[in-house]
Homo-oligomer: A and B are copies of this chain.
């Protein structure tokens, strides 16, 4: 076996050294009848060539941006990633290292995280950011837990515009705790209706998504005011992190916690993961923050260096009193995103966000002028919006026939909207593809 170096001769020498005569005896601590008396019932091993053939065949049975124009978003965004990101991320010094517990030989990972923390602070308008959560959904749930710890309250007001999967995860996370979840409804234009009704003195936090699940750009300041008026925290969740380059950072608008999903920053869609939850907050909530943090320090010779810090918040020190149970996080995705952000930088990220906006505005204009289609919501949007169609299934089938992944059927998520699709347009879709989509959704002859 090419992954295991031992030769028969070496095995024998090692057995001798440990005073055993055969491999079986290594497991003497396991009573014979607790052992598996047969080989595992798995298919026999295949060679690398055969494996590659099998996996290529499986992969070929999935649509992808290689084969289709993708208008799906809803928390996972098809963006172009420069080749540099994978080339650097693939360096095995990054890939095959683990958590940087030993800073003297982990400065590469540590400095990267410190850079990430800095950029996330800039993007969100917060003071401190951690070094990754599993995904946007669990980050939002952890934000609620954090607010509950900070306020010692247990009611969580969730805007209905929070991604339905995130709402599900929140519910799952809060289930074992004595917490109450209240939903704040959407107004007709797609934005969250004023929150005064739901938020009260028992409220630990409000969770608002920006732009929300239906693409609407929310009024974060109003939500922040409603929350802080009752001493509650406002957590803003962002699923399309690219919007942070264009929209006023939630931290500046009064959000206490800004969290979400940073997959848009160069992390492959990869059927939904691994992605990259992020979380940032104000300085005064620092000790409540879950997850890893990297801080600057000096070595014995006074040279600047980085270390994991404030570990007393974490499970490996605090055990059941930790701010979270997270341990293994999304390190390599954080590296991808950091590289992506460095490449795009101050100007590129903004320019890309504007291009996304322009694509969506173009698409909306085409929808608006098509008699068979409608734009049911009036709220401003970024790169995602709702399209009313006569018949969702037929529309998607026509799109599929033209190799378009035509948007998300909203029926399971927002049945009140009537037949409608959530459509996302990033820089990856050309004007021509947008035109084909509009035609397909409308059933126009092409």
Contact of A49 among B52, B92, B427 (CB under 8 A): B427
In this assembly, does A1 line the interface, its C-beta being within 8 Å of a C-beta of chain B?
no
A44 proximity list for chain B (CB < 8 A): none
A48 touches B90 (CB 8 A): no
A80 touches B48 (CB 8 A): yes
Across the two chains, which residue of chain B brings its CB closest to A79? B49
Interface code A408-445, partner B: CB below 8 Å = 1, 0 otherwise?
Answer: 00000000000000000001100000000000000000
A34-62, CB < 8 A from B: 48-49, 52, 56
A90 proximity list for chain B (CB < 8 A): 87, 90
A71-111, CB < 8 A from B: 80, 82-83, 87, 90-92
CB distance from A95 to the nearest CB of B (A): 10
Q: How many copies of this protein are present in the complex?
A: 2
B83 touches A49 (CB 8 A): no
Complex Cα spacing A307 to B80, Å: 44
A83 touches B428 (CB 8 A): no
Complex Cα spacing A2 to B82, Å: 11
A428 proximity list for chain B (CB < 8 A): 49
B48 touches A82 (CB 8 A): yes
A52 proximity list for chain B (CB < 8 A): 80, 83
Complex Cα spacing A52 to B52, Å: 24
Complex Cα spacing A2 to B344, Å: 10
Interface code A203-224, partner B: CB below 8 Å = 1, 0 otherwise?
Answer: 0000000000000000000000
Interface code A1-13, partner B: CB below 8 Å = 1, 0 otherwise?
Answer: 0100000000000
Complex Cα spacing A90 to B91, Å: 9
B80 touches A49 (CB 8 A): yes
CB distance from A92 to the nearest CB of B (A): 8
Contact of A48 among B2, B48, B83 (CB under 8 A): B83
A56 proximity list for chain B (CB < 8 A): 66
Interface code A165-184, partner B: CB below 8 Å = 1, 0 otherwise?
Answer: 00000000000000000000
A91 proximity list for chain B (CB < 8 A): 91
Across the two chains, which residue of chain B brings its CB closest to A95? B87
Complex Cα spacing A24 to B152, Å: 69
Complex Cα spacing A90 to B90, Å: 10
CB distance from A108 to the nearest CB of B (A): 15
CB distance from A89 to the nearest CB of B (A): 12
Across the two chains, which residue of chain B brings its CB closest to A80? B49
Q: List 7 A-B contacts (CB under 8 A).
A: A48-B80, A48-B82, A48-B83, A49-B427, A49-B428, A52-B80, A91-B91
Q: Which 3 A-B pairs have the closest CB atoms?
A: A49-B80, A48-B82, A49-B427
Interface residues of A (CB under 8 A from B): 2, 48-49, 52, 56, 66, 80, 82-83, 87, 90-92, 343, 427-428
Known contacts A48-B82, A56-B66, A87-B90; 11 further A-B pairs (Cβ under 8 A): A2-B343, A48-B80, A48-B83, A49-B80, A49-B427, A49-B428, A52-B80, A52-B83, A87-B92, A90-B90, A91-B91
